[in-house]
Each structure stands twice: as structure tokens, then as C-alpha cells.
Chain A
Amino acid sequence: MNFIKRAGITLWAKKGRTILLMVTSSVILLFVMAGLIIQSAALQAAKTATNSVGSTVTLTTNRETSFKAMQSAMSSTSSDSDSTTTTRPKMTEYTTSLSSVEKIASLSNVASYNITNTAQVAASGFSAVESTSNSMQGGPSGDTSSSSSDISISGVSTTAATFTSGEEKIVSGRGIKASDQDTTNAVISQELAKSNNLSVGSTITVKYTNDSSETSSYKLKIVGIYKSTTSSSSDSFRDPSNTIYTSYTMPNTIKDTKDQVSNVTFIMSDSSKTKSFVKEAKKDINTTQMQISSDTSMYEQTAKQMKTVASFANKIVWIVTIAGALILGLIIILMTRERRREIGILVALGESKPKIIGQYFVEMVIVLLVGLGVATASGQAASGVVSKQLVSQSLTASQSNQTGANGGGAQGGTPGGNGGGRMGGTMRATQKATTLKTVVTPGTILELGGVAMLIAVLSVAGASSTILRMQPKKILQDD
């Protein structure tokens, strides 16, 4: 009867002790399995969540250069003694060519892009929406242009790419499509439509005054009406209700800047490659006049969160493994002291102490194998709960960190001037619904098996010194 068979006989003969050991090892391995599942799920969630969070790169006017140009213009104006009129300072809106934008968009890692051009125009034949303190709700036939540029034309690639924050949505007709290029199709706000009795199919006229004080009129055909939840402003031209969406070509037509682009937002397909994309894109633009910036903060924040969870889970695995080895090791040492007579008998019969240690190791392996089976079966059931919790926390963290300015038309710009594009980068997070299917994989079971083996070795090693030091004569005589 070799020591392996002896191990089996002993475990079977002492069923109560064996069951207790199996329960203990099952609990220990279940905690280890939970840690391994969390670790695996966290790493997978990190990859999935970061990819879904995404990052954007914005190409827009270099504000610093534009501001310096404005200051320079102000200085030369104030020093001009012949100047009898006071002109308002203008922020120069630099642009880049459409071909440059398309070249940048063709770089790898660009999932999509949205061009935004703006123009400040005046309402003609209808009234802009004003604040209640200066309400001048004019009728549809009155020429009530109260400001020279009270309407903001936001030219976009598509309103679908712009209306991503949920603050705007189409409530009548349709949005601007790519096919609206070079047309006068427009989408107006619900407030603007109601205050002027406008509807889909109506036509409105806007007027644009250039730097040479020349005024041109443009007729826009309403193809859609949108609703905005953004709060209104006391300044009519800043009131989001006064933003009219058209194709990005319309502002170019108004300002006679054909094939020029003032603002582009590129959506990255792989957030981790944003920096390399920015570096590459800068080669195709005049970096003095245009700036290209990225915002990977959300991606990095989410990635960091998930990696923190994975790191924590890894620590859990090690702590439980070491604690498990200690617990089982102490149990085995206690059992060894109880079984010293058995050891003495075996030694007296001529069995070597290493084989007796081997018998203990085999007993431990059998016990841990049962624990492994229990932990694997329970882990399969628990993995679903764990993964749902993890994804829920991950999405909540991502949503709570999203900035409010996701998409949307260009706002602001300088009154009377050429209008300003959207300044600075705006994070647009396209959150994908993530369903994380985490299961107990063969790899996880293998890892757990490795941990179980490590626990067996460490726990028996602790008892080995006790066995090796035993004196059979003393044992047999004392008993």
C-alpha cells in the first residue's frame, strides 16, 4: 500500500475531519476565485469601457493668436487720430481648408468627424427670441430686427453628429444630413418657430453684413425643428433658441469663405492613440492660426478607475492565498500533532519520513481538489453578479465624469464680427452600452489550481519540520 493509497484510506476513515478540511479549503478557494474573477473582469472592463468612453480631438482657431491680433488691431485703432467712430474689437476667426480637414480625417484612428462653421446674421422678416425683460415678440410680418447679429448660423456636417448630449432633439421634420451640403436647408428651434409661427416648409430670410458693411440676404428653407433644453440667455444672439442649424457650407456661402473650415471635431476609434493622431494632424495645419487639442481625461480617468479595481483584486487574491495557506498550514500542524502516533508507527515499520510528508501532501491535494471543484462551480454562478456590479459601477463613474458640452452647435462668437467658431476642445463621449460577459474560463481555473497547489505546498511545508523532528521511540513510548 503506497503512501498515495494510504492518503485516500486515511481521508475516508476520518470523514468528519476530511469534510471540515474540504469546507475550509472550499471557502478559501472561493475567495481566491472571486478575486481572480474580479481581476479578470476589471481588466476586461477597463479595455471595454475605455474604448466606449472614447476621446475627441478638436481643430479650431488658435485663441492666443486671435486675441493678439485683436489687441494689435485695438492699439492701431486707438492711436489713429483720424478715427471718429468707436469700433468694437473683433476676434479673428482663422480657418483651414476643407482639403486639409479631409486629409486629417483620412488618418488612421478617426472614427468620424464633424465640421462646424458659424456665422452671425440678422433676422429679417422674423424676430429672434429675446429674454422676457426685453421682450419684443414681433409678428411674422414685421421687420423687427433688433440686433445686427441676433441669429447664429451653426453649420454642421450633420445634426445627428451634433445632437449627442441629449440637450437637443428633432421634434418636427428632419435634421441636417450630409446631403444638405451646398443647400439652404435649415433646422430652427421650437421657440423660434413658435414665436414666428414658422413650421417645416417655411422660408426665412437672414441678412449678413460683412466687414465692408455690405449686406447680403439669404433665404433659408426650414426642413426641421429642434427642441433644446439648454437654458436661455439675456443676450439674444447667445440664446440657444436663436441658433439655426444648416449644412457647414451655408456659413461659408454667407461669409464667402468657400471650402474653409473653422472648427472640426474628430472622434477617435482608439482613445489610446489620440496623442499620436494629434502629432500627425499638426503636420497638415498652420499651427499659428489653428490649434488642435485633445481631451483624453475621461478615457484616462476611466482606465485608471478600472486598473485600480484590477490592482485591488490582485491584492485580494494574494492576501487570501497567503491567509489560506497560513490557515490550512496551522490546521495541518495541529493535525500532525494529533497523528504523531500514526507517524511513529509508520516510521517504526520502516517508512521514510519524506514519504510520510508525501502522504500528507496527497491528502491536502485531494482536499483542495474538492475545494477547487466547489469554488469553480460557485464561481460560475457568482461571476454574473460580479460582472453586473462592475459594469454598473464603471458606467456610473463614466457618466458622472462626462462634461456637459457634448456636441451642440457653435455658440457665441463676437457680435458684429465674422463670428467665432467653437473655441477650445469639447469632450464628446459616445457611451456605448456595455454588456460584459465574464465567465470562469479554463485560464481562471488553471490559475486557481495553481493557487491551490501553492497552498498545499506551503501548508504541508509548515508541518514537515514537525514530522522531520519527530522521534519515533519517544512517540511510541509516550503513548
Chain B
Amino acid sequence: MTLAVENLSHWYTTPDEALYKDVNLTFDNGKFYAIVGESGSGKTTLLSFLAGLDMPAAGDISIDGKSLKQMGLTNYRRTRVSTIFQSYNLLSAMTAFQNVATALEITKSEHAGDKEFIFASLAQVGIDRTKAVKNVQKLSGGEQQRVAIARSLVVDAPIVLADEATGNLDHDNSIKIIELFEALAHEHGKTVILITHDRELAKMADEQVLLKDHQFTQLTATKS
């Protein structure tokens, strides 16, 4: 499966003040990508297009040649992509368990309603049963982020987008999450795209996409 960005341009006011112009990128399944750039460079905006939350002013995004416009953004969000947001974006009225269950229900996952699957998924990111039944607002920032990660992973979407997914985690947990992303890509054949400003984490990806001065440069990362 190939996720392609074709001649993508975007501006908020006029084309002369475009955020970026004629961006062309490809993302293949089974690979872990990192999009790196300074704060305010437009990384999150690109992620919103890749997540199907918005359409660019010009250009297209397609999966195996099929445009997202044709697919329908709602359908794309439900079936092809899962997103881990920088600000977690958990449903505040619900518990960790209910947040994960909601995602499974919306995406019509085969595991919808499977309580043990949900508990196991939360446990995988370090959220035990006691914390799983707590309202998410009673969890720490790091725990909330792990719940958001679990919610994103359980839906088994072919494309996983993560916007600064380790921002609130300590180093060890951050490494664990990155390793998890690697496993998703290499072992489960998913397309994992991490948005980050942390160059050290970005080096752990198979390929890096550098965003600088409104220009994207796709590189093959050299892992250290």
C-alpha cells in the first residue's frame, strides 16, 4: 500500500503566501517514517491532511492511486488511518476503557465490545485495569498519552499517524513507544508516520522527511 502526496499546496490567505507548494511525498507500508521540522513549520498541517481532517488548497492525497476525495474523508478516517494527537484528544467524559471501546465501535472493529482485548491493549502501553476504569481526566499526562496511543493502535488501521506522540513521556517510555511503532511497521506491515521535532527520535525511523523553509526533503534515515 502506498500513501501518496501529489503536488500538494496549501495557503491560508493567497497562493502567494502558501505554506508549502507542490509537495510530493510517498509513504509505503511496512516502513516507519519521521517528519521532522521546527515548531510552526507546518508539520501538523500536513498531518491533518494525511489524517483526513482537512483537504489542501491544491493537490491530492491518495492511497494506491485512489484519491481521498473519492474515498470520502469520513470513510478514510474510519477505515484507513488512526491518529495519535499531540494533545491526546481523549473523550473527557469517559474512562480509558471507554475511550478505547468508542474507537473500536466507531471503526466497526471485529474486537468491538471485547473487554479483554481492550484491557490487554491498554496493558500493552502500561495502563493496568485499575487505571483503565478511571476517568481519563484523573490520569497523568503521560498516562493519557498512552491511552491515546492504545486507542489508536487497537483499530488496526493500515496507516498510523503520531503527532509528537512521546512529548509527555519520559525517555524510557518514549523509547518503548518508538519500538512499538517500529514493530507495527516491520512486523505488522503498517505505514507509521511520526511527526516530531526531536531529531534523535527521528533517527530511529526508516526514513525522515525534513521540513525546512516550507520545503520537504525525503531522506532515508541512517540509524545509529
Interface residues of A (CB under 8 A from B): 1-2, 6, 9-10, 13-14, 341-342, 344-352, 471-473, 476-477, 479
Which residues of B, 77-97, contact A by the 8 Å Cβ criterion? 77-79, 83, 85, 87, 89-94
**Cβ distance B108 to chain A, nearest Cβ, rounded Å:** 9
Interface residues of B (CB under 8 A from A): 44, 48, 51, 53-54, 74-75, 77-79, 83, 85, 87, 89-94, 98, 101-107, 112, 135
* Closest 10 pairs (CB-CB, A-B): A350-B78, A13-B93, A473-B53, A473-B54, A350-B77, A1-B105, A473-B48, A345-B89, A351-B106, A1-B102
Are A349 and B74 interface neighbours, CB within 8 A? no
Are A471 and B54 interface neighbours, CB within 8 A? yes
Provided the pairs A342-B92, A348-B53, A349-B103 are in contact, do residues A1 and B48 lie with their beta carbons within 8 angstroms? no
Are B106 and A349 interface neighbours, CB within 8 A? yes
CA distance A476 to B85 in the complex (A): 9
Are B48 and A349 interface neighbours, CB within 8 A? no
Are A350 and B79 interface neighbours, CB within 8 A? yes
7 further interface pairs, Cβ-Cβ under 8 Å (given A9-B93, A477-B44): A1-B101, A1-B104, A345-B91, A346-B102, A348-B77, A350-B107, A476-B85
26 of the cross-chain contacts (CB-CB < 8 Å) are: A1-B98, A1-B102, A1-B105, A1-B112, A2-B105, A13-B94, A342-B93, A344-B89, A346-B91, A346-B102, A347-B74, A348-B83, A348-B85, A349-B77, A349-B78, A349-B102, A349-B106, A349-B107, A350-B78, A350-B79, A471-B54, A472-B53, A472-B54, A473-B48, A476-B87, A479-B87
CB neighbours (8 Å) of B93 from chain A are: 9-10, 13-14, 342
CB neighbours (8 Å) of A341 from chain B are: 89
CB neighbours (8 Å) of B48 from chain A are: 473, 477
**Cβ distance B218 to chain A, nearest Cβ, rounded Å:** 24
**Cβ distance B85 to chain A, nearest Cβ, rounded Å:** 6
CB neighbours (8 Å) of A346 from chain B are: 91, 102, 106
Q: Which of A1, A9, A471, A473 has the most CB of B within 10 A?
A: A1
CA distance A341 to B137 in the complex (A): 15
Q: Which of B48, B75, B102 has the most CB of A within 10 A?
A: B102
CB neighbours (8 Å) of A6 from chain B are: 102
Are B106 and A476 interface neighbours, CB within 8 A? no
CB nearest neighbor in B for A472: B53
CB neighbours (8 Å) of A479 from chain B are: 87
